[in-house]
Amino acid sequence: MKISPLQIERLKYEPKLPGMLRNGISEISVSEGEETRSVADQEKIQALFPNTYGKKEIVFAKGQNTSAAKKQVVGVILSGGQAPGGHNVVCGLYDALKATDKENVLYGFKNGPSGLLDDDYLVFDDEYIDQFRNTGGFDIIGSGRTKLETEEQFAVAAEVCKKHGITAIVIIGGDDSNTNAAVLAEYFAAHETGVQVIGCPKTIDGDLKNEDIECSFGFDTATKTYSELIGNIERDANSAKKYWHFVKVMGRSASHVALEAALETQPNICLISEEVAAKKMSLSQIADYIADSVAARAAKDMNFGVAIIPEGVVEFVPEFSVLISEINELLAGSKADAFNALATWDEKYAFIEQGLTKESMAVFAILPQTIQQQLFLERDPHGNVQVSLIESEKLFSALVKAKLDERKKAGTYKGKFSALHHFFGYEGRCAFPSNFDADYCYSLGYNAFMLIQYGYTGYLSKISNLSKPAEEWVAGGMPITKMMNMERRHGEDKPVIRKALVELEGKPFKYFEAHREEWAVGTCYLYPGAIQYYGPASVCDITTRTLALEKGE
C-alpha cells in the first residue's frame, strides 16, 4: 500500500513519555495518595459503587516495580467520535504490555463497544500495530456509539472476557463512555469476574476535564486544525475584503473548541454558548450583537469579517430550547404521521402555528424557511429534533442580514454584507496527531497498562502537568467515581461524570472577554498556520492557549 511521505516519517516518530515512565518497566513504582470522594452526591454514588468507590489516587514514580507477575490479556475499545491520537493510546498500551511480558496479549474489539458484545475482535501483533503509529483516525479497530450500560450487556461482556481469559478492558472514550466504564468496573468487581476496567479521556470537544484531568486527548490537534483553517479564511477575508465568513465549529454542547479557535485566531466574533445561556440571550439579541460588529466595520469601509459559531449554540438560547421542546411535543407519537401527511409547506406551517404557543411561534417565525424545515425533517430515533444538525452558521447570517436590512431602511447602515458559510468538524477529528497529542496519547495508553499491572480497576488513566515539557509530566490514576455526581437523564437520576462546560469565570474566557471588543471592530487576525511536526519545540510542542491560560502561563 502506498503511503504519504509525512506518514512514512510519522511512523518513525518516538512519542515522549513522562520522565517517571522512561526508565523501563522494571523501574516504575507506584505510590498511593489520599482516599477520594465523588465531587457531589457522595452517599448516593457510594451506595451505587460499593466495590469501587473511595479508592485512592495513585501516582507512578521511578523505583522498583513491585507489581505481581501475571499474564495479562487485555481488550481495548475505541468509543464514540474520532479524536486524533487514539491510535497512539493503543500503541502505548501494546508497548507497555509487551515490554512487561512478550506472552501478554492485546485484543482490539471492533467498531466500538458493540465489538465486545458481539465478540468481534482482532489480536494485535507488531506488524499490524506498527502501521498505525502516530497516525490519526480510529481505523485501527473502528469506533462506535453503542452504550455499554445494561446488566444484560455486562453479563455478555463478562462471558466474552471469560472465553478469552481477558484480565482487563481499556475503554477509550468521552464522559459517557467513561461513566459506563465505571459502571462496568463495579459490575465486574461485584461479580468477582477478576476483570479490571480502565478508562482513557478522549474527545475533541474538550468537555471531559476537571481538577484531575487537564484535557481530553484530540482537543489539541482538532483545534489546531480548525484554527489553521480559520486563520487561512481570515487572511482571505482580509485580502478580498468582500465577505463575512460564518464558521461553525464542532463541539456538541460545550464551546471549548470555539473558544480555543478564537484565542488562536482572534476573529471579529465568537459566540460562546455558555455565555448565551447565562445572559439568557435571545436570537434577536445575538443577531444584533453580530450586526453591530458588521456595521462598525462597514463604517470603516471593512465589509468583511469572520464569526465563529459553536455547534451547540442554539440549544443554549433559552427561547430556542422552549421552541424545540414544543416541537417535540407537537410531533409526539402518531401526531407526526398527521403532520407528514400534509402535502404542502403552507399546510404544515398552519399546523405548526396552531400547535405552538404564541411566544414560540414568534421565535419560529423569524427563522429562515430552510431552518424551519430542518426542524421538522431531522428526527432522532426517539423522535426528537436533532439540534446538532441545524445549520446555525446559516441561521445567524440570515438573522444578521435581516437586522442589517432593517437598519438600512432606517438609514442607520450603509455597508454591504455578503456571507459565506463553513462547518469545521470532521476535517479535524482524524488529523495526524500533533506532537502533544501523539505524546499524551501514547503516555495515556502506556500508563493504562501500568494501572492494570498494579491491579487497579475503575480508574481513569491520568497524565498531568501537561503545560510543561513531557519529561515533567506526572503519570498516575484517578478513580472514576471521584469525578461523578447524580444528574437527571431521560427522566431518571443517574451517576455520571460531570460534563465540563466553558467556565465564564475561567482564565481562557476572561482573556477572550477582555479582548473581543477590540477584535470585533479592528482586524486583529492571527494566522497560526498548519500543525508542525518537525522543527523548534517552540512551534512543534506548544499546547493549546486554553491549557496555557488555565495554568496561568
| Catalytic machinery residues | 205
**Nearest distance from C-beta of residue 222 to ligand FBP, angstroms:** 8
Q: Does 444 bind ligand FBP (CB under 6 A)?
A: no
- For 308, phi and psi rounded to 5 degrees? -100, 130
Q: At what angle do helices 318-330 and 345-355 cross, to 10 degrees?
A: 110
Nearer to ligand FBP, 209 or 407 (CB): 209
Spell out the residues 6+ positions from residue 56 whose beta carbon is closer than 8 angstroms to its own. Answer: 32, 33, 34, 35, 36, 479
- Determine if 251 is a binding residue for ligand FBP (CB under 6 A): yes
Q: Which stretch binds ligand FBP (CB under 6 A): 89-97, 245-253, 443-451, 540-548?
A: 245-253
The stretch near ligand FBP (CB under 6 A) out of 200-208, 264-272, 275-283, 526-534 is 200-208
Q: Rounded to an integer, what distance in angstroms lies between the CA atom of residue 390 and that of residue 364?
A: 13
Residue whose cell numbers read 452517599 = 43
Of residues 340-399, which lie at the interface with ligand FBP (CB under 6 A)?
388
Q: 255 vs 397, which CB is nearer to ligand FBP?
A: 255
C-alpha cell of 152? Answer: 444484560
Work out how close the CB of 248 gets to ligand FBP at its nearest, in angstroms, rounded to a whole number.
11
Binding flag, residue 205, ligand FBP (CB under 6 A) = yes
Residue 309 near ligand FBP by CB under 6 A: no
Does position 256 interact with ligand FBP (CB under 6 A)? The reply is no
CB of 356 or CB of 497, closer to ligand FBP = 497
Residues 111-170 interacting with ligand FBP (rule: CB under 6 A): none
SS3 string, 493-513, reads EEEEECCCCCCCCCHHHHHHH
Please, what is the angle between helix 507-521 and helix 283-299, to 10°? 50
The residue with cell 430552510 is 370
Q: Where are the beta strands (DSSP E) in 250-331?
A: 269-270, 305-310
The stretch near ligand FBP (CB under 6 A) out of 31-39, 84-92, 247-255, 325-333 is: 247-255
Minimum distance, C-beta of residue 85 to ligand FBP, in the bound complex (Å): 12
Residue 214 or residue 311: which is nearer to ligand FBP going by CB?
Answer: 311
Give me the half-sphere count of Cα atoms (radius 13 Å) on the Cβ side of residue 534.
Answer: 7
**Angle ∠(102,141,23) on CA atoms, nearest 5:** 35
Q: Cβ distance 405 to 329 under 8 Å? A: no
| Options 22-30, 199-207, 232-240, 459-467: segment touching ligand FBP (CB under 6 A) | 199-207
User: Cell for 177?
Assistant: 463512555
**Cα–Cα dist 546/526, whole Å:** 16
Q: Residue from 228, 311, 437, 550 that binds ligand FBP (CB under 6 A)?
A: 311
Q: What is the CA radius of gyration of the chain?
A: 25
Which residue, 186 or 311, is less far from ligand FBP as judged by CB?
A: 311
Q: Least CB distance from residue 23 to ligand FBP, whole Å?
A: 33
Which residue carries 522494571 as its cell? 26
Pick the closer one to ligand FBP by CB: 131 or 386: 386
Q: Does 203 bind ligand FBP (CB under 6 A)?
A: yes
Measured in Å, how far apart are the chain's first and last C-alpha atoms? 44
CB of 374 to ligand FBP, least distance (A): 16
Nearer to ligand FBP, 371 or 470 (CB): 371
Residue list 53-112, contact with ligand FBP (CB under 6 A): 80-81, 83
For residue 99, which amino acid is it? A
Residue 310: all three cell numbers together:
459553536
137 versus 251: smaller Cβ distance to ligand FBP: 251
User: Judged by CB under 6 A, does residue 252 bind ligand FBP?
Assistant: yes
Q: Quote the CA–CA distance of 88 and 92 in Å, as a whole number.
A: 6
By the rule CB under 6 A, 422 interacts with ligand FBP: no
Contact yes or no for 83/66 (Cβ under 8 A): no
Taking contact as CB under 6 A, which single stretch among the options 203-211, 239-247, 291-299, 332-340 is the one that binds ligand FBP?
Answer: 203-211
Q: Quick one: cell of 379?
A: 428526527
- Cα 7 to chain centroid distance, Å, stands at 25
Q: Does 268 bind ligand FBP (CB under 6 A)?
A: no
429: its cell numbers: 477529528
The residue length of the chain stands at 553
Q: Which is nearer to ligand FBP, 83 or 452 (CB)?
A: 83
- Helix (H) / strand (E) containing 423: strand 419-424
Minimum separation from the CB atom of position 79 to ligand FBP (A) = 7
The interface region with ligand FBP, picked from 5-13, 110-118, 246-254, 270-278 by CB under 6 A, is 246-254
Stretch that binds ligand FBP, among 114-122, 236-244, 248-256, 286-294 (CB under 6 A): 248-256
# of chain residues touching ligand FBP (CB under 6 A): 13
Query: Which of residues 89, 93, 197, 204 is near ligand FBP by CB under 6 A?
Result: 204
Which H or E run contains 122? strand 121-123
Q: At its nearest, how many Å lie between ligand FBP and the CB of residue 229?
A: 16
Q: Note whether 385 and 413 are within 8 A (CB).
A: no
Where along the sequence are the contacts to ligand FBP (CB under 6 A)?
A: 80-81, 83, 174, 203-205, 250-252, 311, 388, 429
